[in-house]
Structure 1
């Protein structure tokens, strides 16, 4: 939720900061762009930091410490006296978001039973979009400084509540702490669960892999295959056009006679509802099926977006007769609803699959000894691609036109579907050790 608050904060805050009376804090168009996008730079660095932290101090302490830059970042924003303080605050919260986006899926995958790992893993994205929706809704009534105060509450609670949570059994066993691992499993599974058997199974996998990661391990198919899959999932997630669609969401809603801020809340609500649906059915439908459905839905919606922009570009701008006015107004009304329906289909499709599942799969497919390094590479890739797509989007629109840009996104969504069918193994209902065996080409335990 803290992560979602950071992502959503710029949407309601930027209009306030662009109209503020204080010239030291007032943002122009370029400054507003950096205020929104500098989070991705901090998050990319946070992915690297998180990969180092989870291996050195563990999953639990990494989660507790990442709440500090969240709180410090929002504190700097609250106390901001100039634009640079706003940038620093956003960069710090972005850094914390990068750590969080790595550690939370990892923590959940290592402590969850395989029968519910998909559902719990999908709750990561569910809470992110719930945080985005919460900050959009709060932004309707709360000033940007008070909104930053509200955003600092969830990370504060994170540090408090994590004091009562155990470290993950897999990390404890990788450190040779068998007794602590059994205690953690009893806390997670219940006092009557066969924790000794589960500990033994995890220990065997850890011993087979060795104790620590070396660069030579990248020659191992059990390492480089899931790493390639994880990186491509993150690349494809950002190339679906999600940032472009969200960029246009407010304008599209306004054209459909919905106030822009209310439209943002409705978009957030759709994301929450269908991400929750994905969480409920994840361990029944499976990852591959949902990714395919999601990719097809997004390919259709981005294609129709391209049609919308193409038809809009063909309409005459300066009609000279009353009949011309009537001829252009009627199609325009229809085109507004084409755009709105396309937006709804895209957000629904993304929330069902390509939103939550890349993060879930990232947390499932890596062997224990390379989990920190490989996850850091994936998070760095995701946030770097987010920054590149966001910053080059206007150039793409200039060179390819709006229609061409969205048709490019549609073709990439089609490639996503092919990639999912051909290269992604199904991880539903499998233990983490069985998933590792699939990439190694051996039979799982």
Structure 2
């Protein structure tokens, strides 16, 4: 990196921040892509059905293929990221997404539309794993949470942009919203270093030191951090490369339970149903149209994600997750109670107010405490030895839970809308208890320290001391 005489006047933290933030933003283009893909199907439904002559069931297949592709993409990402590196994995994902969007843009038949949707699903499945992994491995421990939560912000921004632009442009033109961040990332990756921890893992020590120095700044002393990383890798190298059955060993079982459990609970709580079917939920409660409520919900994630970024490295992950779990529990309870009350009073003002308040509370607390934090946690608690396998499994579980909830919601709602939300309320309560009992606080701790504390017999004592 070029320097000049003014460098001596710049605090040492600023060079570190510049490269870390630049690399984080380039990686976060993959998160924006995730949001754009997720938000694409909602505003384009009627136009695609009309232009291509699809049935509702055919469009449902088109929508669901995103999560199917994401599950498959997430499963294979760990070994791929370990073999070719974090940067090349992001390049591959960008290429797959661009190919998918082009297929959608040029579609004249249902099959090419489905192929494109499946490809974009595979791409965001890869992104959902490798983007937070790369961010966790390059960030200084004091800024790790703040930088990683930018992934959540970009997902929210991508989804909001898809909703808003989908109102004013054609469904074919909207595909450029998905192509653009991929092109930005493909170019930007040429200008940022590879993950230092991955370089050290494959034995490229000189490149590891250069990359770490670039991320920490030319004047930063990286000796202690580099030694800590290399010592951790040397210890893990004694053990053969992890396999699926190794995840059940004593030193790995707790981080695996925490990671997989968090991802499952974070999506079994009804989030995908509420976010995907918000308009239908409001109309079921008695609103003449769900558009106003949907617009309100679409506008909430971006500013709330910014708030999370400001708070995460100050008050920690665990308090925010407990706050989010309690709030989503309350929101689901109010929404469920509104549907229960509707059975007796119909669409009264009280029912409408309770429903709108409950859903709004749910989304607000979900964004603040649940949406992005499990992705931060899993890439902090899995060490390099098991990160490829455990992270891939946890990510796939998240997409599986997302598909399961979105697929079953219409059936559950036809059974009992009130019962459905009370079920989601129970999952939110279980999440609160799970976080209290098992999830460690990782704020301000080096990744290697977290890994040791999670795998040692004294991990519970260490985690209690952090609380």
Q: Please state if 1:421 is matched with 2:436.
A: yes
Q: 1:59-208, aligned counterparts within 5 Å?
A: 59-208=86-235
- The residue aligned with 1:5 is 36
TM-superposition CA deviations, 1:237-280 (whole Å, max 9, x none): 11111122124412355678796556434312201111211111
Q: Cα distance, 1:394 vs. partner?
A: 2.3
Q: Within 5 A, what are the aligned runs for 1:40-439?
A: 40-210=67-237, 213-215=241-243, 217-252=246-281, 260=290, 263-315=293-345, 332-399=348-415, 401-439=416-454
Aligned CA RMSD, in angstroms, stands at 1.9
Cα drift, residue 193 of structure 1? 1.1
Query: 1:333-353 CA distances to partner (integer Å, 9 max, x unpaired)?
Result: 332222111111011100011
Deviates further, 149-158 or 39-48: 149-158
**Residues 442 and 228 of structure 1: is their aligned pair in 2 closer, same or farther, counting only changes over 3 Å?**
closer
Q: 1:37 aligns with which of 53, 60, 64?
A: 64
> Does 135-144 or 245-254 show the bigger shift?
245-254
1:274–1:352 Cα contact (<8 Å) kept: yes
Q: Tell me if structure 2 keeps the 8 A contact 1:238–1:389.
A: yes
Tell me, in whole angstroms, the C-alpha distance in 1 between the residues paired with 2:365 and 2:120: 28
Distance (whole Å) between structure 2 residues aligned to residue 6 and residue 258 of structure 1 = 29
Q: What is the SS of the residue equivalent to 1:198?
A: helix
Q: Does 133-142 or 148-157 show the bigger shift?
A: 148-157
Residues 259 and 394 of structure 2 are in contact (CA less than 8 Å); yes or no, is this contact kept in structure 1? yes
Say whether 1:15 aligns with 2:46: yes
Q: Render the CA deviation track for 1:25-63: whole Å, top value 9, x for unaligned.
A: 233221222222210000000101211211110111111
Distance (whole Å) between structure 2 residues aligned to residue 258 and residue 62 of structure 1: 46
Deviation per residue, 1:360-417 (Å, 9 max, x gap): 1011111112111111001111111111222122232344x11111101101101100
Structure 1 pair 27–262 and aligned structure 2 pair: CA distance change class (3 A): farther
Distance 1:358 1:351, change over 3 A: same
Determine the C-alpha separation between the residues in 1 that align with 2:414 and 2:295: 29
Are the counterparts in 2 of residues 70 and 96 from structure 1 also a CA contact under 8 Å?
yes
SS at match of 1:140: helix
After superposition, what is the alpha-carbon deviation per residue over 1:293-321, rounded to whole angstroms, capped at 9, x for unaligned? Answer: 10110111101111111122234xxxxxx
Matched position secondary structure for 1:201: helix
> TM-score scaled to structure 1, two decimals?
0.91
Unaligned runs of 5+ in 2: 1-31, 463-467
1:325 is aligned to: none
SS of 2:108's partner is coil
3-state SS in 2 of match to 1:145? coil
In structure 1, the gaps of 5 or more residues are 316-327
Q: Contact 1:252 / 1:336 at 8 angstroms: preserved in 2?
A: no
Q: Which moved more, 1:385-394 or 1:99-108?
A: 385-394
Deviation for aligned residue 1:110 = 0.3
The 1:300/1:443 distance shift into structure 2, 3 A limit, reads closer
Alignment partners' CA distance in 2, 1:256 and 1:407: 19
